Amino acid sequence: MTTSGAWERHEQAVARLRASYAAIPSGAPVRLAKQTSNLFRPRTATTGPGLDVSGLTGVIEVDPVGRTAQVQGMCTYEDLVDATLPHGLMPYVVPQLRTITLGGAVTGLGIESTSFRNGLPHESVLEMDVFTGAGEVVTTRPGPDGQHSTLFDAFPNSYGSLGYATRLEISLEQVPSYVALRHVRVEPELLARTIEGIVATGELDGVRVDGLDGTAFALDEVYLTLATWQDEPGPTSDYTGQDIYYRSIRQRATDLLTTYDYLWRWDTDWFWCSGAFGAQHPVARRVWPRRWRRSDVYHRMVAFERRHGIVDRLDRRAGRPQRERVIQDVEVPVERLTEFLAWFDEAVGMRPVWLCPLVAQHDWPTYPLERGATYVNVGFWGTVPVGDDAPEAPLNRAIEAKVHELGGHKSLYSEAFYDRGTFDRLYAGEHLAAVKSTYDPDDRLTSLYDKVVRRR
């Protein structure tokens, strides 16, 4: 099903993108002219023109029979889901925040509860057009015989250092109208074994599991949430109003959501982070418009605070220790999960944390997870009082060291502190540089290390 004129509009948008590239002075860095972001790392302010991607924000075509979609790179998952769900289809992996873009999830790393079955978003990409640092649009495909497959394979976790996706053809999964949830409390010593059992069998206690994630409220209070797709209707919960989803995990053993509400169950309160803005207080929640109970609104509020240093100034005036921002997602092997959680609870002390098992379906050189092995993404987002050492990021550095001691990896959407040698060893720096030299011979795009560590 193609919207009338969608392909023509796409070609016009690509033409504008090319024209904006030509307008950037020779030798000047090439960046997106994009005001919004789901990244959590500051970067040096830049001036001058950027790449015009304003026309690359939609769905070109959905094929309900072939279960595929042609999607522009800057299309948000919110808009993508709106286009696919009417056909009873959804992307294989739908990251939990509405305004994450498909291109962003592929060049970065998205994850969600279907990742224990379907891996990461880039693993369901069938074909991709990439606008390179040379100003060319290159069509890439996976596999040893795929066209420009070296670029395709290196693209995940490259964060724009190899180019930007303008069009992606992705596979879609059939999904019914409802999702039944079971919130199962698991003893710490059984956590890894339980996750491994679900990954291996696709069920728990004889009931099929289609989605799997978890919440650790404390070391001895961990819940796995098991989602099962179903057609059978029933009374559904609404967590966009007064009720708050993450609290329901402790309060009820079972639940029923529409598929749409399940996909965005975390977005309304940005997991649990909306509490920092008072949005979870019953009085504030009644007057806080629903249209503003969204992760992108909270993200803009955080960006405003960081620009003006409001919290730091208030802490200084009150004589409170300076706080370190600890906003990270890490992957650890499932057999080391309990060890990491115990260390994190003692060293950092932030609660709750999100748990999301995943199994990589393929080998990806720039984020070398072992194919077929079970990892668990651990997500934690907040601030911790550390005192005068906060600018040196001692907790973030300790997390980096511990994750890699345990054979894991850290996502790069937030701040990173690696030295160059360590970074290149962990993220295939030599291979990435070789691919970059082929598709960005004049070095117009900022390198991955400069983006994520030097914040350029």
Domain check: are 184 and 170 in the same one?
Answer: no
Domain count of the chain? Answer: 3
Domain check: are 13 and 143 in the same one?
Answer: yes
Which range marks the domain in which residue 195 is found? 178-266
Domain check: are 236 and 374 in the same one?
Answer: no
Over its length of 456 residues, how does the chain's per-residue pLDDT go in tens digits?
666 689 999 999 999 999 999 999 988 888 887 666 656 656 555 556 789 999 999 999 999 999 999 999 999 999 999 999 999 999 999 999 999 999 999 999 899 999 999 999 999 999 999 999 999 999 999 988 889 999 999 999 999 999 999 999 999 999 999 999 999 999 999 999 999 999 999 999 999 999 999 999 999 999 999 999 999 999 999 999 999 999 999 999 999 999 999 999 999 999 999 998 899 999 999 999 989 999 988 888 887 877 878 777 877 888 888 999 999 999 999 999 999 999 999 999 999 999 999 999 988 888 889 999 999 999 999 999 999 999 999 999 999 999 999 999 999 998 999 999 999 999 999 999 999 999 999 999 999 999 999 987
C-alpha to C-alpha distance for 448 and 438, rounded to whole angstroms: 15
| Residue 284 domain flag | no
* Helix, strand or coil, per DSSP, at residue 380: strand
Domain check: are 375 and 402 in the same one?
Answer: yes
| Residue 295 domain flag | no
| Residue 287 domain flag | no
| Residue 299 domain flag | no
| Residue 19 domain flag | yes
| Residue 59 domain flag | yes
- Domain containing residue 334: CATH number: 3.30.70.2520
Domain check: are 23 and 148 in the same one?
Answer: yes
Domain check: are 18 and 144 in the same one?
Answer: yes
Domain check: are 36 and 146 in the same one?
Answer: yes
Domain check: are 186 and 234 in the same one?
Answer: yes
| Residue 424 domain flag | no
* Helix, strand or coil, per DSSP, at residue 263: helix
Domain check: are 221 and 242 in the same one?
Answer: yes
Domain check: are 131 and 226 in the same one?
Answer: no
C-alpha to C-alpha distance for 181 and 448, rounded to whole angstroms: 39
Q: Which DSSP string corresponds to 317-329?
A: HHTPPPEEEEEEE
| Residue 340 domain flag | yes
